[in-house]
Amino acid sequence: MNAPRLVDALALAVGTLAVIAGWSLGWTEYVMVGSLLVGAVLGRLSA
């Protein structure tokens, strides 16, 4: 596995965990940051 794919996978995992944790704890900042991170990774992968 090369480094950019590892960074993408890590960012996707962190973003997903931030959305889940923020959603369950009611922290909207975590949900927003996590969804931005996930969206940025998915947008970069689809380009």
How sure is the predictor about 35, in pLDDT bands with cuts at 50, 70 and 90?
very high
**pTM for the full model?**
0.81
> Is residue 29 within 8 Å of 18, Cβ to Cβ?
no
- How much is the mean pLDDT over the chain? 91
Mean pLDDT for 21-36 is 94
Residue 29 structural domain: 3-46
pLDDT reading at 25 higher than 70: yes
How sure is the predictor about 1, in pLDDT bands with cuts at 50, 70 and 90?
low
Q: How many domains does the chain have?
A: 1
Report the distance separating Cα 16 and Cα 6, nearest Å. Answer: 15
What angle is formed at CA 12 by the lines to CA 44 and CA 24, rounded to 5 degrees? 135
How sure is the predictor about 28, in pLDDT bands with cuts at 50, 70 and 90?
very high
